[in-house]
Structure formats: C-alpha cells, structure tokens
Structure 1
C-alpha cells in the first residue's frame, strides 16, 4: 500500500476509534429529538459530526466534507469525505449495541474508500473500490478488523438471511424466500452482505451518508449494489443539496441473486 492510502486508512481508523470511544459513555444515556425528516438526532451525533469534520480539516485541508449534521451541498473539490457520525441513532438511544461511524472518501464524486466502525461490538470495516471513478492504483479489497472478507457464494435457501429496514417492509412480496432480519442500521445492513453473513438486503430511504462508506466495502467484497431508481447514485453533483435525497437500494452477495430477489420487490 502506498503512502497516501496508508495515511488514509490510519486516519480513518484513528478518527473513528477516537470518536467511538468518546461516544460509548453516552450510549443509552442521551435523549433524542426529531429532525424534519423524522429521523432522530442527539447531542452525541452533533459532537461526533463536529469532531470528525475538525479532524478532516486538520489532516486534509484541501478535501471537501459532506455530513449528516453539517454541510449538505456537495463541494467542488477533487476529494470529498461523506460522513455519518452516528449511524443507528435510534439503537444508540434505546440501548441496542449496533451503531457505528461511517466514512466514505469520494474522488470526483465517486466513493473509492470506505471505513465503518461499530464500537459496541468491536467490528471495523474498510475497503477500496475503483468503480467508475477513473482512479487507479488503489489497494483493492475489503476487510474486517484487518482480515479479508468476501460475500457469500451460497445459493438461496430458506435458512439464509435477508436484511431490511422498517421502511422497507412494504417493499416485499410474501412469502419471501429467506429469513428476514432488521438490524436498525443502514450501513450494517449492507456490510453484513460483504461479510457473507446474509445474502442480501434492501433499504427504502437511505441518505448519501448512510451508503457512501458501505457502497465501497460491499462491492470490494464481491457483493452487488443495485440502485432501485433509474438515476445513478454516483458521481455526486457539485452544488447539489443532498439533505433530502433518498437512494432506495438492493444489495446481494452475487449477481445471480439479484434476479432472484428483484421479483419480490414492489419497486423498480
């Protein structure tokens, strides 16, 4: 790994670990308020967002930042970090130990590096993915706690898992061919496909900060990312406000499963 990418990985790891450690004492202890879009926010979200933005500005002053609790317009910079300072705020406030910190690094509007850290369960994920960014020289692969991960090669069965969010329940036709799991964190729903734990997942209303880091990790691990709208997600558009933009998404562990899952979804 060259010096630039080693620096990126070290920065993401150190920043996410620092923020996660500071958030753990607030786990289950803070009150949430409701934002205009119906999602919850706490003082912990706001502190984490500011801490990550400050760290990026100090280490990479030429990089842009798009964050859930801060700047929502995509900047005109070569590199941009998209951050979710606390993915899974409802879990965080209710005492369910699946919540995380998500960082995605975009090159000309397309994610090429993702880092997602889940402090209560001790799992950290990162990955590199060229996609259609035009970038070369990345150290390709996806990892959990520094060990390589890959999506499952298994065939579909009723004993395998499929993840979804509560807003996605109405998407599914029944009977569904897998066991359904609802974990409460968009990035974790997607990343469990990368680890091989589940065969697929669907999210009805994820925002750009929910998906930027996981988008890289899923595909670097061999998974398939399928937008459920005709408009492509990336590259992001300079000057566009992404605060209200939703990106319905299907993920699957391989391309064959995409065609098996799609007939069970009510949207295209």
Structure 2
C-alpha cells in the first residue's frame, strides 16, 4: 500500500476533526490546565477532535499505530503510525485567534511520509509528501514553494514565543535579533506553513513534541525547505527545531545556534 492510497482518508480525518472543533471556537468553553508548572491549556475541542480521528483510524486501519497529544500512544512500533495534534496553538484557540490548526502526520517505519495542517475556520489546508506540497483554500489550489533567501540579514524569522524557551536557549535565540531583517512572534503551526508558502524564511523553536512537528516536515520539505534539530539531526522526534526555506539560511542558522 502506497502513501497516495491514504490521501483521501487524510482528507476525511481533517474534515471530521474540523466539524468537531468549529462549534467550540469563539465560545465560552471551559479550559483545563494540564501543565505542572507553566500554563498548558486543553479544551473539550482538543479531546473531541482527537477522539473522532482515532475512531476513524481504528475502524479503517486497525493495524496502524497512533500517537496523539491528548490520549497517548497505541502500537507506536507499527510500520504505519498516525501522529495527531487536534489543535496546535490551543492558546491562540482559546484567545479567539485563528492561528491554530489540526496537524495530521502519517509515519512509515518512523519516517514522516505525509503531513497536513488543516485550519477549518479559515478553510485552509497545507499538505505535502516530501516530494511536493500543496495549498487548498478559498483562493483555490496551488503548489507550495519556499522562497530564496541568500543570508540571515535578508531573512524574516518567526518563533511562537521566546518565553517558551529555557534561559539558555532564549539567550542563544537572542543572537538572531541583530542579524535577521525581521523577527516576529506567534503563529504556532502557521509559521511553518507560511515558510512553505514562501512568505517567511526561518522558524526557530524549542521543546516541541513529535505531534507538534511530524506533520509539518513533509510540507516543508515538499515545498523545497529544510527542517532539522538545532544539531542538524532529523526533526520528527521534536525538541529544538530550526526550519528554513533556503539551505543557505539553514546552514547559517545552525552555525549561529551552535556558535
């Protein structure tokens, strides 16, 4: 069974999760804190959307594994594993901002082979398979392609928030402030999709979990970009992540991160 056999099914997962989430958005829903030290919100929308996707996967591909943010892991050593983040950007979600999305990744033998970011409120989907990446939304459909950027001094850099970094990593990140052309905060999964779409050049983050990044890797690489850990290793396990549209910017970022 090839990856392309799963494309329509991934679309079903996105549709079902979106239909589950939207009735909760911009309502006075309850918010729980699952963090022991920092505020790490979770809502009934997160739980309900992941539950819907899990049921569909279990009914159609009972032999597959599932890794999800809200309900843990099942058969994570299977050849095919689904990695789910029902709402990436829950803090934006509970604040009424539409810079959140549902992340759906398909792993084959521990490698991300297909990923989708679905934003049902805006009606946008970004998806890729490492070889190509595409956008579907109100503006129609088009191929995604990163933009060329020769150096850090020409780059637009995004991170969700330096406050999410530990003190040492925040100090390392601060080296970029005087080097890049523009630094912006916020975005969560949207930052990576805007990189794939050619609107920004660099995303640097820390403390990511596999479900925060696995779906975004095939989109970025399919659009011609590069995504690794700060050490230049594969990114699907999460941790400290750097994504760039241009390999030259990625190389320069790694040097500055490890300088």
2:132 aligned partner: 141
Question: What is the CA distance between 1:23 and its match in structure 2?
Answer: 1.2
The answer to whether structure 1 residue 163 and structure 2 residue 171 are counterparts is no
Question: What is the CA distance between 1:202 and its match in structure 2?
Answer: 0.6
Poorly superposed stretches of 4+, deviation over 6 Å: none
1:27-176 pair list within 5 angstroms: 27-29=25-27, 30-36=29-35, 38=38, 39-72=40-73, 75-129=76-130, 140-145=131-136, 146-156=141-151, 160-166=155-161, 167-168=164-165, 170=171, 171-173=173-175, 174-176=177-179
Q: Secondary structure at the match of 2:63?
A: coil
| Cα RMSD after superposing both structures | 2.3
The answer to whether structure 1 residue 227 and structure 2 residue 222 are counterparts is no
Name which of structure 1's ranges 90-99 and 154-163 shifts more when overlaid on structure 2: 154-163
In the alignment, structure 1 segments of 5+ residues that lack a partner are: 130-139, 237-245
Counterparts of 2:123 and 2:70, CA distance in 1: 25
Question: What is the CA distance between 1:36 and its match in structure 2?
Answer: 2.8
Distance change in 2, residues 1:231/1:250 (3 Å): closer
Counterparts of 2:151 and 2:11, CA distance in 1: 35
1:194 aligned partner: 196
Question: What is the CA distance between 1:69 and its match in structure 2?
Answer: 0.6
1:17 paired residue among 8, 15, 18: 15
What's the TM-score, normalizing by structure 2? 0.85
Question: What is the CA distance between 1:120 and its match in structure 2?
Answer: 2.1
1:1-12 pair list within 5 angstroms: 4-12=2-10
Q: Is the 8 A contact 1:156 1:178 kept in 2?
A: no
What's the TM-score, normalizing by structure 1? 0.83
Question: What is the CA distance between 1:160 and its match in structure 2?
Answer: 4.8
Question: What is the CA distance between 1:68 and its match in structure 2?
Answer: 0.4
2:183 aligned partner: 180
Question: What is the CA distance between 1:75 and its match in structure 2?
Answer: 1.7
Distance change in 2, residues 1:159/1:25 (3 Å): farther
Q: Is the 8 A contact 2:128 2:222 kept in 1?
A: yes
Q: Is the 8 A contact 1:84 1:101 kept in 2?
A: yes
Q: Is the 8 A contact 2:144 2:197 kept in 1?
A: yes
Q: How many residues align?
A: 244
In the alignment, structure 2 segments of 5+ residues that lack a partner are: none
